[in-house]
């Protein structure tokens, strides 16, 4: 089993739709969780950290479920500009090791 797993997609959704991605992780000692956005041939950019109580930033909501070992990202009112690959990243407790998922591709269609 991969340490961090994501559905590669692509998720094709119309503008204005709500879309959700999940990411599962295998190491229960994982400490910190992040969602990054990566546009084609560009560097990953931090979208948001994921906190235990869940957190929201505008149209984006992140949730953490430690019991089931997954994190989720919800995007409301999708925009064309949301089209990108979304990377799930997990940092192990007590280390500086970050594990990246292979990403979920999102295409928002006009």
Partner 1 sequence: NAGVTQTPKFQVLKTGQSMTLQCAQDMNHEYMSWYRQDPGMGLRLIHYSVGAGITDQGEVPNGYNVSRSTTEDFPLRLLSAAPSQTSVYFCASSSATSGSYEQYFGPGTRLTVT
Residues in touch with partner 1 (CB under 8 A): 4, 31-32, 34, 41-46, 49, 87, 89, 91, 96-103
CB of 46 or CB of 109, closer to partner 1: 46
- Local structure of residue 81 (DSSP, 8 states): G
Q: How far is the CB of 21 from partner 1 (least distance, A)?
A: 15
CB of 60 or CB of 100, closer to partner 1: 100
CB of 31 or CB of 52, closer to partner 1: 31
- Is residue 97 within 8 Å of 88, Cβ to Cβ? no
3-state secondary structure (DSSP) of residue 52: coil
Please tell me the distance from the alpha carbon of residue 78 to that of residue 16, in angstroms, as a whole number: 5
């Amino acid at each position: 089993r991969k340490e961090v797993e994501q559905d590669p997609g692509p998720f094709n959704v119309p503008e204005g739709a709500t879309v959700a991605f999940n990411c599962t992780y295998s190491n229960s000692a994982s400490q910190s969780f992040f969602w990054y956005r990566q546009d084609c041939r560009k560097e990953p950019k931090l979208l948001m950290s994921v906190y235990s109580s869940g957190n929201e930033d505008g149209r984006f909501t992140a949730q953490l479920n430690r019991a089931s070992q997954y994190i989720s990202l919800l995007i409301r009112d999708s925009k064309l500009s949301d089209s990108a690959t979304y990377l799930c990243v997990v940092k192990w407790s007590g280390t500086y090791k970050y594990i990246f998922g292979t990403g979920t591709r999102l295409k928002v269609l006009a």
